[in-house]
């Protein structure tokens, strides 16, 4: 029997149980923080040498020279050329759909003119150089290459630097092929906190970037948080999560597999099912028992479900939405007859999958929207990775002589109210007699 926690909103201590369930201890774990701090410090002070040492230790490589850190560009195209036709076609189809979706997000500069001729606006500029973290410890993620690189390309970023760990010196050719398809400029075989530090501070081989994006495990997420300020980051995109709300009418095997789909990423991944009847939860439990032995990654799935998974019994679908908003999941599946009716009640979720046919897995690969999403409740204030993450804005202010005179009077009063005389006099010079 796989012991999945059972909670009910009718439990007296439901809120406490929910808080304990969704707390991702690792993020604030002092030991992880110290380890990541040491790694970041070493990369900053020893550069490539630290990258070589950590990659040899954590990814079991045998690097001895800086020149081995980068994967030559010719290997990216060779990987693409060597793909079986069905893989190449799937990769290109997914890339085309992700690109089209993201093109809709492109923001452009804007301005408007006031009656006295003053022009105000915003100039939108792509970033110069960004770092794309592509995870690769427990699974390899060609799809994450697409999701990281394509919005950056659509935004017009000049240089894309990708990092990806290659444990035991193995790399999925699809990862390199995806880098070729999307036009990534340089790829380094490094991962974890050391890769994040290299992108943030630069080393002899790895260029320093302006922003680091992409998902990763606890070491990656902690390092991104640590270097924020020196570089920009997109969000904390940690271990995957799925929250399924079901009205009890979807085939329980489908729901069991949807829960497995995120649990198989990582022991730290979180899969939760909310339903309106105990009988339905029992049916999904039975499906899990029957299907788990058929799964290649059953040990990871089992640990994830037992340690971090849960079944939550609610009175009705309205109450389900309240629980969703408290959890603010990365992925939400509304596996119900009328998902449109629930949508207005959902305020916090990274991506919302509507109806019984919309498996979250489609969103991971080829629906079009980005799969790099905020995790561990950060959907309360973060959004999916998008073109907007690679664009920045400058305010444009161009006063006419008349406008400067009128606003000079306003600025003068406010500046004198702050006792900032130079500000006041600077504005006053432009006031017409
Ligand atoms: N939120 C998203 O959008 C999204 C998308 C894809 C994947 N994911 C998540 O990304 C994560 C990927 O994790 P992963 O482990 O497979 O790959 P990863 O690339 O994130 O991490 C691998 C690296 O972790 C470092 N590491 C491993 N053990 C360490 C230790 N003991 N001390 C210091 N560093 C250590 C190593 O440097 C290694 O190269 C999963 O949790 C998955 O769920 C999230
Ligand atoms: N579910 C992950 C985001 O949390 C993305 C992914 C890539 N490959 C499979 N899944
Ligand atoms: Zn996934």
Neighbour order of strands in the sheet with 351-354: 5-8, 310-313, 270-275, 241-246, 331-335, 351-354
Q: What pLDDT is attached to residue 28?
A: 54
For the question of residue 330 being annotated catalytic, the response is yes
Average pLDDT in the 395-403 region? 98
Average pLDDT in the 243-268 region? 97
271 lines ligand 2 (CB under 6 A): no
pLDDT band at 25 (very low <50, low <70, confident <90, very high): low
Instruction: Give the nearest ligand 1 atom to 55 CA.
Output: 37
Q: What pLDDT is attached to residue 237?
A: 81
* Ligand at shortest distance from the CA of 138: 1
Q: Which of 102, 331, 348, 371 is catalytic?
A: 331
Range of weakest confidence among 199-213, 224-238, 246-260, 320-334: 224-238
CA dist 214 and 123 (Å) reads: 26
Between the CA of 91 and the centroid of ligand 1 the distance, in Å, is 23
Share of the chain above pLDDT 70, in %: 99
Q: Is 65 annotated as a binding residue?
A: no
Q: What pLDDT is attached to residue 24?
A: 74
Token pair recorded at residue 297: 């990654």
pLDDT at 128 over 70: yes
Q: What pLDDT is attached to residue 44?
A: 98
- Output the CA torsion sign for 196, 240, 320, 302: negative
pLDDT at 284 over 60: yes
* Ligand at shortest distance from the CA of 32: 1
Q: Which of 241, 330, 333, 360 is catalytic?
A: 330
Between the CA of 139 and the centroid of ligand 1 the distance, in Å, is 9
Between the CA of 296 and the centroid of ligand 2 the distance, in Å, is 17
CA dist 180 and 178 (Å) reads: 5
Average pLDDT in the 23-46 region? 87
Q: Is 395 annotated as a binding residue?
A: no
Quote the pTM value: 0.95
Average pLDDT in the 399-418 region? 98
Q: Is 240 annotated as a binding residue?
A: yes
Between the CA of 154 and the centroid of ligand 1 the distance, in Å, is 26
Angle, alpha carbons 241-26-30 (nearest 5°): 165
237 lines ligand 1 (CB under 6 A): yes
pLDDT tens per residue, range 300-313: 999 999 999 999 99
pLDDT at 278 over 70: yes
pLDDT at 27 over 80: no
CA dist 92 and 286 (Å) reads: 38
Q: Is 12 annotated as a binding residue?
A: no
Average pLDDT in the 202-220 region? 96
Q: What pLDDT is attached to residue 2?
A: 96
Mean pLDDT, the chain, whole residue set = 97
Q: What pLDDT is attached to residue 216?
A: 92
Among protein residues, the one whose CA lies closest to atom 4 of ligand 2? 240
pLDDT at 40 over 60: yes
pLDDT tens per residue, range 149-208: 999 999 999 999 999 999 999 999 999 999 999 999 999 999 999 999 999 999 999 999
Instruction: Give the nearest ligand 1 atom to 54 CA.
Output: 37
Token pair recorded at residue 293: 């032995």
């Amino acid at each position: 029997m796989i012991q999945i926690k059972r909670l009910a909103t009718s439990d007296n201590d439901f809120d406490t149980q929910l808080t304990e369930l969704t707390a991702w201890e690792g993020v604030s774990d002092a030991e992880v923080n110290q380890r990541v701090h040491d790694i970041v410090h070493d990369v900053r002070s020893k550069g490539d040498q630290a990258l070589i040492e950590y990659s040899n230790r954590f990814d079991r490589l045998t690097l001895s020279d800086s020149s081995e850190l980068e994967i030559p560009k010719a290997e990216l195209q060779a990987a693409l050329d060597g793909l079986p036709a069905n893989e190449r076609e799937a990769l290109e189809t997914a890339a085309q759909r992700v690109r089209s979706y993201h093109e809709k997000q492109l923001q452009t500069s804007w301005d408007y003119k006031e009656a006295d001729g003053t022009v105000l606006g915003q100039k939108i500029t792509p970033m110069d150089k960004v770092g794309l973290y592509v995870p690769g410890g427990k699974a390899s993620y060609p799809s994450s290459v697409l999701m990281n690189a394509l919005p950056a390309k659509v935004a017009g970023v000049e240089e894309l630097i990708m990092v990806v760990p290659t444990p035991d010196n193995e790399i999925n050719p699809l990862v390199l092929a995806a880098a070729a398809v999307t036009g990534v400029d340089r790829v380094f075989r490094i991962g974890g906190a050391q890769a994040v530090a290299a992108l943030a501070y630069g080393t002899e081989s790895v260029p320093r970037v302006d922003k680091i994006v992409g998902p990763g495990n606890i070491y990656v997420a902690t390092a991104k948080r640590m270097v924020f300020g020196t570089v920009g980051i997109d969000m904390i995109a940690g271990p995957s999560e799925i929250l399924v709300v079901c009205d009890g009418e979807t085939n329980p095997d489908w729901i069991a597999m949807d829960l497995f789909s995120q649990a198989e990423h990582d022991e730290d991944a979180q899969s939760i099912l909310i339903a309106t009847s105990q009988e339905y939860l029992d049916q999904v439990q039975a499906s899990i028992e029957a299907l788990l032995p058929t799964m290649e990654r059953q040990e990871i799935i089992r640990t994830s479900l037992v340690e971090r998974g849960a079944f939550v019994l609610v009175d009705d679908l309205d109450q389900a939405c309240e629980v969703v908003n408290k959890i603010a999941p990365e992925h939400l599946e509304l596996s119900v007859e009328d998902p449109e009716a629930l949508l207005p009640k959902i305020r916090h979720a990274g991506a919302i999958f509507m109806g019984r046919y919309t498996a979250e897995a489609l969103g991971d690969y080829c629906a079009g929207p980005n799969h790099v999403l905020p995790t561990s409740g950060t959907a309360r204030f973060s959004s999916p990775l998008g073109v907007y993450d690679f664009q920045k804005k400058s305010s444009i202010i161009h006063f006419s002589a008349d406008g400067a005179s009128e606003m000079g009077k306003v600025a003068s009063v406010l500046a004198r109210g702050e006792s900032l005389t130079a500000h006041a006099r600077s504005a006053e010079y432009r006031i017409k007699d």
